[in-house]
Structures are given as C-alpha cells and as structure tokens.
Structure 1
C-alpha cells in the first residue's frame, strides 16, 4: 500500500547532484520565466481565450508537480558513496559488474538508485531482479535470475567500484 513506510532509496552522490540540479533549474530559471509570461498574458485581457495564459498555467502546473516530486525524492533518498564501500570484493550498491551468460555474452552493469537508472546505458536499479540476484556475489559466482524472457544464469566475471 502507498501508506506503508519504505526503506530509503540509495542514491549515488552524482545521482543526488543531478536531482538537485534539475530542481534548481526548474525553481530558479524555468518557473520564474514562466510566471513572467503568465503575468504578461494575464494583462492582455480575456483569459478564457488567451492561449499564452492558458498554456502558461498548464505548463506551470507541470513544473510545480515536477518540483514537488523532486523535493519528495530528495527527502526520501539515502546518499551512498560507492567509493566508500567497505567490501569491494562483493557486489553491493554502486558496483560495476561484468557478467556473462551461458552463451558467453558479456554485459557490464552498474547497480545504482532508482532515480538514476538508465538500462540502455547499463545503469540498473538496485532493486531490479538482476541486481537483487547479484547482491553479495563475488567473482566466479553463478547467479540465476528470472527475467520476463525466462530464467538465465550469469557468472560474475569482474567487480569494480569507481573512485
């Protein structure tokens, strides 16, 4: 349920900085410019048929929703620096892991927070099925993962943490 407390999502310092930068850009740059346009449009008369005013108000609501979302996310995350990981021989948050499947296809994945995940770039959520299967693994471990396409087994080939 939505009311149940949830463990804080981990996020890297770079991920948090990106959230913060987006918040600052919206709050300090985009929103004030839009408020100015809306004020100008409101002075131009009938608001019911004023496209600039109507579009500006709609866009302002979108920006305010995103600002609220970003503010909630920044409060709900736990900053974790992968470079400070005590056990760098195992796969934990922030690890960049090279795995190989039964067909000797190699993949390199970085396990990061949900807010910074980008599967096409190999950055996957710490909570994804493959990341959960890899947690705690060492080089040479075999891990079985159930994916939408079926079950696959991966071998951990390399683990590294960026400094």
Structure 2
C-alpha cells in the first residue's frame, strides 16, 4: 500500500520525546517569571490559538472532500501540535516548584536563580544564570540547574574553586561573583 493511504498517527507518544529529563526524584524548579511565561503560553494556546484553528478546520471540513483539502489537512495537523503543546505545558506546570531567587539577594553562595561569574583555569571569565529546565536559554547565557556547570557551581561561594568534569578532562572554575535579582519579576 502506498504511504499516501496510511493513516497519520495522533502523535501522542511524541510527548515523552520533547520533555527534558528531570533527575530521578528531582523537582522541576522554575522561577516566578518562568512559571508566568509558561502559564501565559498555555492560556494563549487554549483561549486564542486553538479556537482559531478549530474554526478554520470546521470551515475547511464544510467545503467537501477532506482528503484533498489542504486547509483541512494542515489545520488538523496544527491542532495536534497545539494539543501536544497544551499537554506538555499542563504536565510541566503541575510538577513545577516555583523558587524565588530574590530571597537570596545579597548572598555570596550559589543557589538556584543566581547569576554567577566564574573564571576558568585559563583565566577567561564567563557569567551564567542558573534557571529551570523549561526556562533556560543558552543563547542568553542561561543554563539549567541540572547542567554539569550548574551542578559544579551550586552551593559554592565567592572565592571557591570547583571542579568541572568535561570530556577533555577536569577543569577548575573559580567563583568570582554571585548576584540575585532584588525582587521577583513575576506575580
């Protein structure tokens, strides 16, 4: 049978492929701002985007032959993508543990939500912010709290040296500065 005549699957099993792994028994830590961003995305999908796509699919279905109706086929595919993202966001928000990093403002110890400046053994300084799995963006110098560099830095204090195992060998990092936001950026 030609692939053109096979039924497209719902894709429900794809949910697990998109979930970043949590450590066994670990929590899904997230900042208040990250939680708000995910919640806003979920509500936007439910209240705005999904109803628009449902309306488009309904209109396309009323036009007759669905097998050759591009609007209908694309709409159904987009609806599956939206529903998959809604399920993902719902699961993540259910298990999220909101941690306000501003509670540590003024501390010189590295905890979740800290912006850490460190120097490597070559003397190169870098700054990273340690955030939750669902909110960290590497292009913005943000790392997940379960990343190797974050795990090496957590609980260290300014002036401490920590060991970071890498594929190229163990590197030594010295904590130069630790900063926290003064107040929470979300409610």
Tell me which interval the TM-score lies in, with the shorter structure as reference length: over 0.9
Aligned-residue Cα RMSD (Å) equals 1.7
Match of 2:71 in 1: 52
Pick aligned residue for 2:115 from 82, 96, 103: 96
TM-score normalised by the chain length of structure 1? 0.93
Partner residue of 1:140 out of 138, 148, 159: 159
User: In the alignment, is the contact (CA less than 8 A) between 2:120 and 2:174 conserved in 1?
Assistant: yes
- Report deviation, 1:104: 1.3
Gaps of 5+ in 1: none
Residue 30 of structure 2: aligned partner: 11
Equivalent residue for 1:85, pick from 80, 87, 104: 104
Q: Distance in 1 between matches of 2:135 and 2:34?
A: 6
TM-score (norm 2): 0.82
Structure-to-structure mapping, 1:96-115, within 5 angstroms: 96-115=115-134
Structure 1 segments (4+ residues) deviating >3 Å: none
Does residue 161 of the first structure (1) align with residue 183 of the second (2)?
no
Cα contact 2:105–2:180 (8 A) shared by 1: no
Query: Residue 75 of structure 1 is aligned with which of 80, 89, 94?
Result: 94
Alignment of 1:123-138 (within 5 A): 123-138=142-157
Kept in 1: contact 2:121–2:173 (CA 8 A): yes
Give CA deviations for 1:30-89 in whole Å, capped at 9, x if unaligned. 100000000000000011111110110011001000000000000011000001138822
CA distance in 2, matches of 1:112, 1:60: 30
